[in-house]
Amino acid sequence: MKKSVQLYDAGLDEYPVSRVIAANFATALIVTTGTLACWFISPWFGASYLAVSLAMVYIAIPRLVCRNCHYFGKRCAYGSGQLASVWFTRGRVEDFNEGAGFAVASLTYALMILVPLIALVLLILHAPTTTVVVLLAILLGMAFFSAGPGRRRTCSVCKMRLFCKGSAAK
């Protein structure tokens, strides 16, 4: 039996460049904050966190999720649809919710917050400084915004919102 993909007619055909820039800025802020938090524990730990985060966000997730998305080759909220089309071949939109893509994406974003959060808590317990507290505030603020209002706003105008099992607009 063939799966049916129902697109949200009122959704954006392509996201505005300003949204793509804002989303990538938010991701960069999370990665930078996380890298600094991990770097304070150990430079090797910080460099590892940076490398893994960037590889997951800009290579693994586009490969596992974006190549099966309606926005493949188009400007989605993060620009990953265009990025995926440069590196990978188009998959099938019907397979968008299948496979390990969503689990890997969810785990990636959770660890991008949890790992530096644990590092910051350890640093605060060891020797609290203003820098560490500021990094903690930035990380928590970005985590809240990205998982809540930012995600709902993005999903609310996505063509895939009716079909996507990860949509926050339902």
Higher pLDDT, 167 or 112: 112
| The predicted structure's pLDDT at residue 4 | 74
| Residue 5, domain member (yes or no) | no
* pLDDT at site 150: 87
Q: What is the pTM of this model?
A: 0.89
Does residue 76 sit within a domain? Answer: yes
Q: Tally the domains of the chain.
A: 1
Q: What is the pLDDT of residue 1?
A: 46
pLDDT band at 3 (very low <50, low <70, confident <90, very high): low
pLDDT, tens digit, for every residue of 130-161? 999 999 999 999 999 988 888 899 999 999 98
- Rounded Cα distance between 56 and 113, Å, is 14
pLDDT at 142: 94
Backbone angles phi and psi of 158, in degrees to 5? -85, 135
pLDDT at 86: 93
pLDDT for 104 beyond 80: yes
Residue 12 in any domain: the answer is no
Question: CB–CB of 70/159 below 8 Å?
Answer: yes
In a domain, 163, yes or no: no
Confidence class for position 101, pLDDT limits 50, 70, 90? confident
pLDDT in tens, 39-96: 999 999 999 999 999 999 999 999 999 999 999 999 999 989 999 999 999 999 988 8
pLDDT at 98: 85
User: Has residue 109 been placed in a domain?
Assistant: yes
User: For the segment 82-92, what is each residue's pLDDT rounded down to a tens digit?
Assistant: 999 999 999 99
- Distance separating alpha carbons of residues 36 and 79, to the nearest angstrom: 25
- Using H for helix, E for strand and C for coil, what is the string for 80-114? HHHHHHHHCCCCCHHHCCCCCHHHHHHHHHHHHHH
Q: What is the pLDDT of residue 117?
A: 97
Instruction: Tell me whether residue 34 is in a domain.
Output: yes
Is 144 within a domain? yes
Answer whether residue 164 is part of any domain: no
Q: Is 19 helix (H, G, I), strand (E, B) or coil?
A: helix
Q: Which domain holds residue 73?
A: 17-156
